[in-house]
Amino acid sequence: MPRRVTLTDRQKDALLRLPTSQTDLLKHYTLSDEDLGHIRLRRRAHNRFGFALQLCVLRYPGRVLAPGELIPAEVIEFIGAQLGLGADDLVDYAAREETRHEHLAELRGLYGFRTFSGRGASELKEWLFREAEMAVSNEDIARRFVAECRRTRTVLPATSTIERLCAAALVDAERRIETRIASRLPMSIREQLLALLEETADDRVTRFVWLRQFEPGSNSSSANRLLDRLEYLQRIDLPEDLLAGVPAHRVTRLRRQGERYYADGMRDLPEDRRLAILAVCVSEWQAMLADAVVETHDRIVGRLYRASERICHAKVADEAGVVRDTLKSFAEIGGALVDAQDDGQPLGDVIASGSGWDGLKTLVAMATRLTATMADDPLN
């Protein structure tokens, strides 16, 4: 039997409760002229109110009123305002059960509402089984089913029926996807995949467990371990269309299942399921390992860059005194040359009277070296 789809009380309430916000009431419970025409055919006020209420509830959330159900005040006020009736006019509607059933039968005839049975139920089940592949959760598949029932004007069955149908659809979808993936694997690839559960790495763990033990590192040893695993996986030549038509969330789910199982647990699975999980893991782990290799490379380069940057900063700090003295010397020479130019004196005499041309050459060489130090790039 398929596993039971268990919806929480909150999820069930979200699917089946009557709307109370003004936006939802306007969207779902606004009565048309045709609706009002049918409603006015009821002679008594409580019958008009009850008939309108049943019509609204059949439309949204798409079910019938339960005996003795407490109707939210917002719903009573909104529908009553359209009919010119008050809350007291609804009180007597629940007194006669036959009237409620008669109104329900009339509404089915007038608006085409149908029960969940016969051909309509079969069509909805077929739709649900197709839709289940796209569902991402138990609540999602239940929401999709309820929305389709509303679209086809099918009165919602009991919550237990909805859960049972959704459970069967989800299990069937999983099996179809597993069979689809397994059927695309050539025999040689199947043998390689199954060998992952038998071979051992480092005489400690199976190859399957060894392959999934990876994370980005920060040194060459980590990079080599990642590359060893990536190269091993790349030798398994999976078909290009392996995951064609398989929703991304289904692929992720199969991979996560593989990451939870050990080899013994994998061996106990049905063959198609086992092969599908192995194939998906190999495919997904290749991409994840490639990302881990890139991240490890970035960490190594980043660490080297920061170390080089610290060296560059240290060099600049060490040369601070020399830079100050060199700039001071150039300022003195420059000032003397400007004064000589203003006084019309030969500039060569100024140089000769100072440190001389040899001293100036030494000063220029020092400035050139300091310029290179200040402009040094950590990447160099």
Confidence of residue 4 (pLDDT cuts 50, 70, 90): low
Give the tens place of pLDDT for each residue, 165-193.
999 999 999 999 999 999 999 999 999 99
pLDDT at 53 over 80: yes
SS3 call for 200: strand
Alpha-carbon torsion, ordered 228, 238, 286, 257, to 10 deg? -110
The string of pLDDT tens digits covering residues 299-348 is 998 888 788 878 777 777 777 777 777 777 777 777 777 777 777 777 77
241, amino acid identity: D
pLDDT in tens, 239-263: 999 999 999 999 999 999 999 998 8
Average pLDDT over residues 119-130: 96
Question: Which of left, alpha, beta for 153 (phi over 0: left; psi -120 to 50: alpha)?
Answer: left
Instruction: Indicate the pTM of the whole model.
Output: 0.76
Provide the 10 A C-beta neighbour count for residue 310.
Answer: 11
Q: What one-letter code names the amino acid at 147?
A: A
Report pLDDT for 5: 58
pLDDT for 1:
44
Residues 6+ apart with CB under 8 A from 238: 185, 189, 279, 282, 283
With a cut of 60, say whether residue 2 has pLDDT above it.
no
Residue 134 has pLDDT above 80, yes or no: yes
Whether the Cβ atoms of residue 178 and residue 278 lie closer than 8 Å to each other: no
pLDDT at residue 202 above 60?
yes
3-state secondary structure of 206: strand
**According to the model, what pLDDT value does residue 344 have?**
74
Angstrom distance (rounded) from CA 277 to CA 256: 9
The whole-angstrom separation of Cα 82 and Cα 379 is 76
Residue 99 predicted with pLDDT over 50: yes
- Higher model confidence: residue 1 or residue 363? 363
> What are the tens digits of pLDDT across the range 5-50?
578 999 999 999 999 999 999 999 999 999 999 999 998 999 999 9
Contact in structure between 155 and 113 (CB atoms under 8 Å): yes
Per-residue pLDDT band for 75 (boundaries 50, 70, 90) equals very high
The predicted pLDDT at position 350 comes to 67
First to last CA, the chain: 67
Mean pLDDT of the chain: 89
Angle, nearest 10°, between helix axes 138-151 and 9-16?
Answer: 20
Per-residue pLDDT tens digits for 260-305: 998 899 999 999 999 999 999 999 999 999 999 999 999 998 888 7
Distances (CA, A) of 251 to 243, 268, 274, 356: 8, 21, 14, 80
The whole-number average pLDDT for the span 89-116 is 88
Q: CA 212, 204, 222, 197: dihedral to nearest 10 degrees?
A: -30
CA dihedral (111, 115, 119, 121) positive or negative? positive
Grade residue 96 by pLDDT with cuts at 50, 70 and 90: confident
| Domain segments of the chain as ranges | 31-111, 118-182, 187-298, 319-374
